[in-house]
Amino acid sequence: MILNGNERGNARNLAAHLMNVRDNEHVELHELRGFVADDLHGALQESEAIAMGTCCKKHLFSLSLNPPGEADVPPEHFEAAIDRIEKDLGLENQPRAIVFHEKEARRHAHVVWSRIDGEEMKAIPLPFYKRNLTTISRDLYLEHGWRMPDGLRDRSQRDPLTFSLAEWQQAKRTRQDPREMRALLRECWLASDDKRSFEAALKDKGLWLARGDKRGFVAMDWRGEVYSLSRMTDVKTKDLKARIGDPKALLSTDETRAKIAERLTPKLRAWAKEAEARAEKENLAAKFQRDQMVQRHRHARAKLQAAQNERWLSEEKARAARLPKGIRGLWGWITGRNRSIRQENEAEMARAKARDQAERSKVITQQLGERRHLQRQIKAAKDRQQKTMQELNRDIARAMETGQVPASPKPMRERGRARRRDSDRGPEPGQG
């Protein structure tokens, strides 16, 4: 599994992020160890209060454990990996919290340790922790028989289409996958050999070449969104200059944006908004199904949890009733009978906890299988939307050149039915 860790402070924000049910379909606080508080917000603020007695600002170590998307990893495997990591990093017996997240049919874990040694009141150092995590990550892939990502096997093979937080936020505004945009810009770069051919390739995709405010070369779309060419194409600035020339010869982003706005007539802008709304509608059915499924799954888990809590209370009463009281209790203490009963109760509690966890794991595994099936449908809908948005960008660029608003495209489903009708009709006379 992929391991991403970092030292950090600001316990309040971290707790809010880890317990965020808005951006995650399911959130489960799996374990709190070494804290007085019984909730994550209280536990992490407790750690922060202790850290105030030291000079340490980044008093927490936060780690995410991400197995392959299709892997069903039981909680005990996550726990074993976490125990191994904390031993390797020197965080054994430190207070920790484990939280499970599920989103888009992927289940992963987050763990947070306090770095403050409560006895010596100083932070535990974590030298070379990134290198150690990489080694453990490789070992976990090999032990579980998972296909290891190329970038983990060889650092030079890391995915060039990864994106930053700013690019992800930009993608939300434009409804375009940042990976698709990076692949598109790389395609334009590889298909060109000089400035003229590169500009032509960009324009064919609905993009304009411009001079950036901070970076030398950027591409802009009709919305005015800016894409850094050095970052998006993974090409060094000196190589960009060798092919494109001096960036000062290009229009600035403000000048390019004004040029686009001049050609983007109100009628064309209205057509673009209509096309974007039509593309977004392609996803509504899948999103509705997802929301309904998430609510149904949450209800099933809450119902199971309530039943387990009720059963646990009943079993606790039965275990408590086994301990003799009064004179019999005193005699049991003398003879050692009470200790035998307590040991029996503790063993039964351990079996009951394992039973409850197995029941939860079974339900989660079943729900993940159902959710993955729906996720494939959602991905197909997103792929159709991406294709529609790319066609929209090209149509807008052509319309701005010709001054003519294109005809409203038919929705994807109607186009598919039209193609099937044409194929059923057979070839025209004199053809085929």
Distance from C-alpha of 354 to C-alpha of 228, rounded to nearest angstrom: 52
Burial of 236-255, coded b for 16+ CB within 10 Å and e otherwise, reads eeeebeeebeebeebeebee
Decide if 171 contacts 177 (C-beta within 8 A): yes
Question: How much is the pLDDT for 429?
Answer: 41
Specify the pLDDT at position 169. 61
Query: What's the Cα-to-Cα distance from 97 to each of 78, 117, 161, 361, rounded to whole Å?
Result: 13, 16, 32, 19
pLDDT digits (tens, 9 = 90+) for 255-309: 888 888 877 777 777 777 777 777 677 677 778 888 999 999 999 999 999 999 9
Q: SS3 of 278, please?
A: helix
**pLDDT at residue number 263:** 77
Query: What does the DSSP 8-state code read for residue 119?
Result: T
Question: Whole-structure pTM over 0.85, yes or no?
Answer: no
What pLDDT, on the 0 to 100 scale, is given for residue 164? 53
Half-sphere exposure of 352 (CA within 13 A, CB side): 16
Of the listed ranges 9-23, 63-77, 217-231, the least confidently predicted one is 217-231
Q: For residues 114 and 14, is the Cβ–Cβ distance under 8 A?
A: no
Instruction: Supply 5's token pair.
Output: 């860790």
Q: Which of 157, 44, 168 is nearest to 110 (CA)?
A: 44
Query: In Å, how far are 2, 63, 127, 273 from 130, measured between CA atoms?
Result: 12, 11, 9, 45
CB atoms within 10 A of CB 384: 17
Residue 74 pLDDT exceeds 60: yes
DSSP three-state, residue 271: helix
pLDDT digits (tens, 9 = 90+) for 379-401: 887 777 777 777 777 777 777 77
Rounded to whole angstroms, the Cα distance separating 348 from 353 reads 9
83 or 334, which is more confident: 83
Q: Which is more confident, 173 or 365?
A: 365
End-to-end CA distance of the chain: 54
> Helix, strand, coil proportions of the chain in percent (round to 5)?
60, 15, 25
The answer to whether 33 touches 7, Cβ cutoff 8 Å, is: no
Amino acid at 372: R
The pLDDT tens digits of the residues spanning 166-201 come to 655 656 666 667 777 888 888 899 988 899 999 888
Provide the pLDDT for residue 36: 93
Q: Taking residues 134-147, what's their average pLDDT?
A: 91
Q: Which of 17-26, 135-144, 319-328 comes out lowest in average pLDDT?
A: 319-328
pLDDT of residue 431: 44
Phi and psi (nearest 5°) for 141? -60, -40
pLDDT at 424 over 60: no
Amino acid identity of residue 326, one-letter, is G
